[in-house]
Amino acid sequence: MQESKPTDSVKVGIDKINFYTPNHYLDLIDLAEARGVDSNKYLVGIGQSKMSVAALDQDIVAMAANAAEAMLTDGERQEIGLLVVATESGIDQSKAAALFVQDLLKLTGNLRAIEIKEACYGATAGIQLACDYVRSHPGRKALVIASDIARYGLDTPGEVTQGAGSVAMLVTRDPAILVIEPESIYESRSTGDFWRPNYSTVAFARGKFSEEVYVGMFEELWEKAQELGLANPENLQALLFHIPFSKMGRKGLRTLGNGKISEADYARLTERFEHSIVYGKEVGNIYTGSIYLALLSLLENDNSLKPGDRIGLFSYGSGSVAELYFGTLQPGYRQRLDADGHRTLLDNRERLSMSEYEAMFSAELATDGSQQDLGRSDPAAGAPHYLASVKDHERQYR
């Protein structure tokens, strides 16, 4: 049984949200052809159409800063007292990625800067920590950035579910987008469904098993939410899922079919689910940011939601930690969105040939301390932050 968090009258949640993805992608029809697979397996069976590919200069620090840069005012930079970078693609075993990001975003020194890791659940841990922080620190804000590069390796079953990108969220009191409820349902359980040892640049997965754990934990949390009266489907206007690939979220949602909830509720959640996967289908798995990319995709591609609508979020991180939590859309949330800007970001990416993708995937930073200067992968798109070089085992950003 979960304990209830103390409810209090202070409203906290997501006040701003933005995302960044590198400016190269692989079309999955090209991948299917190269791997000798029927393209419908990727387009329909997996449910993805493209995946973003990161060049060396867009590591998780550069992407994180690029996601947050455009959305922060000077005043907000002064008010941020907690900076969380959630990632499972960390660049250092000791120094938090958040410290590089703090520097690039010119935040003050008067803040806690930390990195959080728990596979794709990390950003949700960051959001919950941030909500608690702003509840207990009047006048301060928290910046949570999910930043990851999903890598399984060339010609592996997971290859089609790779991707790269970051989602930045400003968590405040009286937020403009989503008030997050203090009560939620969560569970941690050690499983061997997906992992990446320190010596490996690619993840290992027991693919089918990982799908079973994901679906099983969703079903358990949904049941608990029913028992606690937290997830009355009639009062739920949308249900978001962690989206490693769109079919996975669909499998979670389908567990509510077959009479578990009314046909009308299931139809409404399914229609909204389609809007939540628009961006992810073109970006791929961005691990811990995926569910927040789904949130952004829903808000920017759905015209029927309105302030006051309640949304459920099922966050899953392999290994495994899952949480089901809820939030309510706020008046004026649409003014905070940038659907045109995000569509342009996606449409302006350069399509890679298979050989260009394989070369980009296989490129590595020097590990012997020598100096390596990197070219800019997107001089035209002009991402403000990038990794310029490595020297003496240190990354130098601009």
Active-site option among 88, 159, 181, 282: 88
- Residue 218 C-beta: closest distance to ligand HMG, Å: 11
- Residue 244 C-beta: closest distance to ligand HMG, Å: 4
Active-site option among 24, 69, 79, 120: 120
- Residue 237 C-beta: closest distance to ligand HMG, Å: 24
Q: Which positions lie near ligand HMG, rule CB under 6 A?
A: 38, 40-41, 44-46, 88, 119-120, 157-158, 160-161, 193-194, 205, 207-208, 210-211, 214, 242, 244, 247-248, 285, 287, 316-318
Nearest Cα residue to 233 out of 121, 317, 324, 315: 324
Nearer to ligand HMG, 172 or 191 (CB): 191
Q: Which two tokens stand for residue 96?
A: 């938090």
Q: Where are the beta strands (DSSP E) in the chain?
A: 12-20, 24-27, 50-52, 80-86, 112-116, 141-150, 163-173, 178-180, 185-188, 194-195, 204-205, 238-241, 310-317, 321-329, 350-351, 372-373, 387-391, 394-397
Question: Any catalytic annotation for residue 187?
Answer: no
Contact, 86 vs 147, CB < 8 A?
A: yes
Question: Any catalytic annotation for residue 242?
Answer: yes
Active-site option among 115, 118, 159, 242: 242
- Residue 219 C-beta: closest distance to ligand HMG, Å: 14
Q: Where are the beta strands (DSSP E) in 92-211?
A: 112-116, 141-150, 163-173, 178-180, 185-188, 194-195, 204-205
Nearer to ligand HMG, 21 or 285 (CB): 285
What is the separation of C-alpha 223 from the centre of its chain, rounded to a whole number of angstroms? 25
Instruction: Give the span between the Cα atoms of 379 and 93, in whole angstroms.
Output: 30
Question: Any catalytic annotation for residue 88?
Answer: yes
Nearer to ligand HMG, 237 or 315 (CB): 315
Nearer to ligand HMG, 160 or 374 (CB): 160
What residues act catalytically? Answer: 88, 120, 242
